[in-house]
A and B are shown apart, each in its own frame.
Chain A
């Protein structure tokens, strides 16, 4: 039996899972920073009502 496909499959799954695990927090971070920017903007607008 050719073992190569199994080795390829294992390492591909490993790479995909580790990549996803590494990138997920970065996507999260982008949306969190977007939220914080919005919060900041609302706060600025409230502080200078005559903007």
Chain B
């Protein structure tokens, strides 16, 4: 009987820890401090993984037999493209939580994700275009991936534009979150229709890796970079969220005290 009670209490304590954590995150000063402690670690892991991944990808992986050296752009292009989509999805999910439960910190996190996602989309487009020139002969090709990325960029710009054009910050965030959600629902539809449009008009789809079997020495760096780039997102997102929180709460006590203490 006693052991059952202790196990139950331990479980309750564990669940309470999670609930307490979520509650604390909703408090701006707590979030500000917690994020501030987390950010240096995220940067450190990002830099570590990137150095490792790029060393393997740019120097150790052997040149591709079909594409020559240009495949090395893949280690930038593919993680960037994956991030552009992952960030949009997380933005939409955060937006959903923010709208349904009216959680301010979620609004802020969702809105701060948008510029980071747009940056990755731009990188994906630029690197994709530069990869296309030596590989397929032209700087821009309306293939399914690049075209979807372009439409995704427009979706990001729409969210950013809407958020920046409404004066009241919470109303602006709510409107932009709704837009992000509508875009997220449309994103798979857009993706598939563009893919299908591409096969309709070009007959064959272009394989990015040049072959169905990818050599493990080529795959490893890609996976490392894919993970590394997530830490960039985490670090950058939290940094932006902290600044936005300062800005929005500049007349509140906790911010004023924080700045006063910083002076010393």
B251: Cβ under 8 A from any A Cβ: yes
Tell me if A29 and B243 are in contact (CB < 8 A): yes
Q: How many inter-chain residue pairs (CB < 8 Å) link A and B?
A: 86
Q: Which residues of B sit under 8 angstroms from A11, Cβ to Cβ?
A: 73, 76
Assuming the A-B contacts A25-B236, A25-B240, A36-B256, are A10 and B130 also in contact, with contact meaning beta carbons closer than 8 angstroms in the complex?
A: yes
Tell me if A14 and B72 are in contact (CB < 8 A): no
Binding site of B, secondary structure by majority: helix, strand, loop or mixed?
Answer: helix
Q: Which residues of B sit under 8 angstroms from A35, Cβ to Cβ?
A: 250
From B69, B126, B235, give the contact of A13 (CB < 8 A). B126
Tell me if B243 and A14 are in contact (CB < 8 A): no
Over the window 120-163 of chain B, the binary record of Cβ atoms lying under 8 Å from chain A Cβ atoms (1 yes, 0 no) is 00110011001101100000000000000000000000000000
Tell me if B68 and A3 are in contact (CB < 8 A): yes
Number of B interface residues in the complex (CB < 8 A): 37
Assuming the A-B contacts A14-B123, A17-B123, A33-B246, are A7 and B73 also in contact, with contact meaning beta carbons closer than 8 angstroms in the complex?
A: yes
**In residues 95-129 of chain B, which contact A (Cβ within 8 Å)?**
115-116, 119, 122-123, 126-127
Q: Which residues of B sit under 8 angstroms from A37, Cβ to Cβ?
A: 259, 263
B222: Cβ under 8 A from any A Cβ: no
A32 to B245, CA, bound (A): 10
Residues on B facing A (Cβ under 8 Å) = 58, 68-70, 72-73, 76-77, 80, 115-116, 119, 122-123, 126-127, 130-131, 133-134, 232, 235-236, 239-240, 242-243, 246-247, 250-251, 255-256, 259-260, 262-263
